[in-house]
Amino acid sequence: MRRREDAELLTGKGRFIGDLSRPGMAHAVFLRSPFPHARIGSIDADRARAMPGVHAVLTGADLPPDLGAQPNTHLFGERETPYYALARERVRYAGEPVAVIVADSAYLAEDARAQIVVDWDPLPSVGSVERALADDAPLVYDDLDWPDNVAATFEQEMGDVDRAFDEADVVVTERYRIQRQFACSLETRGVLAEWDANVDELTLWTSSQIVHIARDLLAAVLGLPEHRIRVLVPRLGGGFGAKFHFYPEETAVALAARATGRPVRWVEDRMESFLATVHAREQRVELSMAAREDGTITAVKGDLMGDMGAALHTVGYGPLWLTAVMITNVYEIPNARVRARAVVTNKTPLGSFRGWGQPQANFVVERTVDRLARELGRDRAELRRQNLIPPERLPRKSLHHTLDSGDYPACLDRAVALLSERGWPDRQGELRDQGRHVGIGISFYTENSALGPSRMLNEGGVQQGGYDIARMRVEPGGEVTLYTGLCEMGQGLTNALTQVCADNVGVHPDQITVVTGDSSQVPYTGYGTGASRGAAVGGAAVMKASRTVREKVLRIAGHMLEANPDDLEAEDGTIFVRGTRARSVTMADVGRAAYIRAIELPEGEDPGLEAIEAFDPPQFAWPYGANIAVVEVDVETGVVSFLDYIYVHDCGTIVNPTIVEGQIQGAVAQGIGAALFESLPYDDEGQPLFGSFMEYLLPTAAELPRLAMEHQHTPSPNIPGGMKGVGEAGTIGSPAAVVAAIEDALSPYGVRINETPVTPSAILSMIAEREVTAA
Amino acid sequence: MTRRVSMTVNGRPVEADVEPRRLLADFLREDAHLYGTHLGCEHGVCGACTILLDGEPVRSCLMLAVQADGAELTTVEGLARADGLHPLQEAFREHHALQCGFCTPGFLLTSLYLIREQPDLDDEDEIREALSGNLCRCTGYQNIVDAVRDAAGRLRQESQTTKG
């Protein structure tokens, strides 16, 4: 099936947030803190306000006194880290918004911004968890009397970890550093707000993955009833989790629209995005693994530190929590203990990025399994296979979740077989004999998807549901309108939902229109668009609504055809008696009866042809897969190039293979970016050492491999339709596989790589270090 | 202080009074209302705003509108033909070479130039190298590479048919 949005996007007709305008619209820009930590003295904006074409300058002092702090919806027991639409008295990270300037054009607003004078009083600051946890560390929240910089400590344990370590034949311990990255969708964020003062209603267009959540949070912050706010989401130029958050700019632009009486639009510029959009990933992890001599892993324990930046954003320390509870990956490890500390620093707040905490968990576990294999002199794939949970022992509870279904060993075996079929590792040997540095790296992942069971989320502290609600309507003319609270951000979700709807109601996909991104039209979705839940949870809700409507369609058609509804089939908009297409009515006939000619309805049947159904998954789903990377390292330049990349996975029922493959290709690219290039470094004080695409390197076509991909299919036992979800999968196992391959390629030098990104200069210095040691 | 600029965009004359500092990309989007040219970085790295200026690819975020005075421009809106999509657009659609579509206009115009310059283009590594000035965050590029190779083939065939 062709994607329905492609023709529009290919001809330049897609309308993104930056393409929208309203009559009389003004443009906003933000003045941001240049300091990681400072008291704000006076702000002199008189000259800016007096400039022609300038409509308003708002600062923290101009905010309504009862304005709420920006909310965190993931409450796991942590200290509060209040921050507002605009900083009040204090800034805690470079880039924190301090003032919003509204003018006739963004050019004029920037001119006016340059005229604002702020009297800053810089304060001591911290730019890393190591520094933040030092005894004499400056405190990020000294004004709130925090005793240290730890916002929360999370601990969980199963089994008897100490005993397992005491009795172990082998113990390996490694320390890992995972860098800061961010989602970096190619479209930055943006907001357009229009406030109707006559009725005190706000319309907010925003580049968001969370239509209703954004509306509700904004309502809470502004003290408005939810239905006074209409949130609209235009085309999104990618989201990848960063647009899952509710940002200060959404509140500030709404307030600017109210203050000026005009529609106001703000579009984040790229430089700004590096500081203003949530960062992700950064952790320090110490991981220990205990095993018996025969290779059985008996226990794992992890000590995690998450660099949360200056505040807990919309999802709190959720990603760090997820890393912690996935510390046994897919292995049958009976004993596990984790401690995770959410540490605040004077850096941009940490938040969501495709995969959340899972790439980190996978990296530290998989790299440690490699270490164990080396320690035991075992083949890396074989050691994994030995410890994978066998299919007959699924479902199985791990630290927090219950892994659901599948055949992990079969998946790993297929990936390894594919590696052989493609000529590796023989070719590796030949190339090595020629003096080339070729390496193979393996990882196995699982993905926490179909998020999630609402009760479980609420019990855990998440102030959001995990269900989805779909509304599906057959119109009088027989066409179908499908309403979903999930957002299309480029992943093609609306196509998958269209297919599910078409199959379950019996119309052709071309007869279906999907409505998204309008809080006044679409049903509420518990958790917004993320956590690989669209196809699974959204798809199941669409399936339920479509089936409910179909039953009514068949009842009405049965009455019209004088046939038993059980004997009817519906296909491509025609309803016919099974076996004889001669006796049929069309969906338009049924629609007409349902809305216009009630006289044609069966006795007692209500008019209308519409259903609204919720689906709340009873369990999460757990897709899984194997990544195998084959790389070559140029030891003169430190450059890594891919020779092959194998990806074998199982994401349950696949609705649309093309879209699934596209999701994996794109996500693996982001995982490779994590492994090799992308980083947001700060100095010790929290000054950013990046600011453009010259420092933040996204992978290009020249660096990335072609994927050799195979699918396996174990339908989810908990999701109607069997879909498990796939959106994040590719980001999870790829960093570990790539880094393992580099380490393998550099085996003559005996390097250990526990830190990403593995840049050319990092490789050259590792080699140089080993050469010095050897000499 | 403004200056009058006039240029031909997608075969149509466009005129406006602009400030000398106005970016060409902003001119195309805000003055000519051609929103298909997207801004992904405004510092010349991502390539989303790539257009053709007198047949050569340029980054419209790195040029001022006044510098394009008198020039002939092609944007993504000028690509489709009277009877449907351009073969390059068709190939992108068939190969699922776009997801969110934000980078797509830049890729299309870069590729159009590339195929015109090298009608024999077929080698994957060459295509990858030639596309490495455009960033895509969704696709991992594999399908874009396939689409460009396929489009080059289609256009070769088309030109042979025309000649024959």
pTM, two decimal places: 0.98
CB atoms A12 and B19 under 8 Å: no
Q: What is the pLDDT of residue A773?
A: 74
| Minimal Cβ distance to B45: which of A238, A693, A703 | A693
Q: What is the pLDDT of residue A532?
A: 85
As a whole number, mean pLDDT of residues B51-68 equals 98
Q: A652 has which bridge partners?
A: A723
Å between B11 CA and nearest CA of chain A: 16
CA distances from A172 to A75, A201, B98 (A): 34, 60, 44
Q: Which of A186, A240, A707 sits opposite B142 (nearest CB)?
A: A707
**In B, residues 64-103, which contact A (CB 8 Å cutoff)?**
75-77, 79-80, 85, 89, 92-94, 96, 98-103
Residues of A in contact with B94 (CB under 8 A): 2
Give residue-wise pLDDT tens across range A611-636. Answer: 999 999 999 999 999 999 999 999 99
- Name chain A contacts of B99, Cβ cutoff 8 Å: 238, 490-492, 662, 666
Residue type for position A154: F
CA distances from A467 to A221, A358, A622, A720, A759 (A): 24, 22, 17, 13, 41
Q: Where does the pLDDT of residue A775 fall: very low under 50, low under 70, confident under 90, or very high at 90 and above?
A: low
pLDDT in tens, A532-550: 899 899 999 999 999 999 9
| Candidates A1, A2, A3, A6, partner chain B, best to mutate (most B CBs within 10 A) | A6
Average pLDDT over residues B53-74: 98
Residues 6+ apart with CB under 8 A from A205: A17, A20, A191, A192, A193, A231, A232, A233, A234
Give the number of residues written for chain A: 775
Sheet architecture: strand order including A229-232: A54-59, A97-103, A26-32, A264-267, A190-196, A201-206, A229-232
pLDDT at position A727, please? 93
Contact B85 A11 (CB under 8 A): yes
Tell me how far apart the alpha carbons of residues B114 and A443 are, in angstroms, rounded to a whole number: 38
pLDDT of residue A245: 98
Q: Which residue has the tokens 């073969």?
A: B87
Q: Is B48 on the interface with A (CB under 8 A)?
A: yes
Chain A's closest residue to B97, CA to CA, is A662
Please tell me which of the candidates B34, B85, B145 has its beta carbon nearest to residue A701: B145
Residue B162 pLDDT exceeds 90:
no
- Return the closest-CA partner of residue B114 out of B101, B92, B102, B129: B129
pLDDT digits (tens, 9 = 90+) for A456-497: 999 999 999 999 999 999 999 999 999 999 999 999 999 999
Indicate whether A275 pLDDT > 90.
yes
- What's residue B164's pLDDT? 56
Residue A16: which of B102, B127, B140 has the nearest Cβ? B102
B42 CB-near residues (< 8 Å, 6+ apart): A269, A270, A271, B23, B25, B61
Q: Which residue from A minimizes the CA distance to B47?
A: A186
Cα separations in angstroms, A376 against A296, A357, A373, B88 = 11, 29, 5, 54
Among A630, A624, A635, A710, smallest CA distance to A672 is for A630
Query: Which residues does chain B have within 8 Å of residue A238's beta carbon, measured at their own beta carbons?
Result: 99-100, 102, 137-138
For position A1, what pLDDT does the model report? 67
Smallest Cβ distance to B80: which of A5, A11, A237?
Answer: A11
Give the relative orientation of helices A657-676 and A729-745 as an angle to the nearest 10 degrees.
Answer: 50
* pLDDT at residue A581 tops 90: no
* Pick among B22, B94, B100 to test the A interface (most A CBs inside 10 A): B100
Q: What is the layout of strands, in order, in the sheet containing A150-158?
A: A150-158, A335-343, A297-307, A283-291, A170-178
Cα angle A77-A82-A88, degrees, rounded to a multiple of 5: 170
Flag whether pLDDT at A264 surpasses 80.
yes
- Confirm or reject contact between B17 and chain A (CB < 8 A): no
Answer whether A223's CB lies under 8 Å from A68's CB: yes
- Please write the tens of the pLDDT for every residue from A91-142: 999 999 999 999 999 999 999 999 999 999 999 999 999 999 999 999 999 9
Q: For B77-91, give one letter per residue: b (16+ CB within 10 A) or e.
A: bbbbeeeebbbbbbb
Rounded (to 5) percent helix, strand, coil in chain A: 35, 25, 40
Interface contact B36-A700, CB threshold 8 A: no
pLDDT at A734 over 70: yes
d(CA A260, CA A266): 14
**B105: Cβ–Cβ under 8 A, 6 or more apart, which residues?**
A12, B36, B37, B38, B48, B50, B75, B76
CA A67/CA A84 separation, integer angstroms: 8
pLDDT at A511 over 70: yes
| Residue B146 confidence class, pLDDT cut points 50, 70, 90 | very high
Three-state secondary-structure class, residue A592: helix
Question: What residues in B contact A240, CB-CB < 8 Å?
Answer: 137
- Chain segment B76-87, per-residue pLDDT in tens: 999 999 999 999
3-state helix, strand, coil in chain B (%, to 5): 40, 20, 40
For chain B, percent of residues with pLDDT exceeding 70: 99
Euclidean distance between CA atoms A211 and A216, whole angstroms: 9
pLDDT tier, A771 (very low <50, low <70, confident <90, very high otherwise): confident
Confirm or reject contact between B60 and chain A (CB < 8 A).
no
pLDDT of residue A764: 98
Confidence of residue B161 (pLDDT cuts 50, 70, 90): confident
Q: Which of B39, B43, B105 is nearest residue A692 as measured by Cβ atoms?
A: B43
pLDDT, tens digit (0-9, with 9 covering 90-100), for A59-83: 999 999 999 999 999 999 999 999 9
What pLDDT does residue A308 have?
98
| Interchain proximity B34–A707, CB inside 8 Å | no
* A271 and A691 Cβ atoms separated by less than 8 Å: yes
Q: Is A686 in contact with A347 (CB distance < 8 Å)?
A: yes
Q: Give the C-alpha separation, A383 to A132, whole Å.
A: 38
The reported pLDDT for the residue numbered A580 is: 85
Closest to A545 in 3D by CA, of A488, A473, A479: A473
Neighbours of B157 (CB within 10 A): 11
Residue keyed to tokens 């995990």: A466
| pLDDT given at position B163 | 72
A700 vs B99, B108, B132: nearest CB: B132
Pairing of strands A402-403, A580-586: unpaired
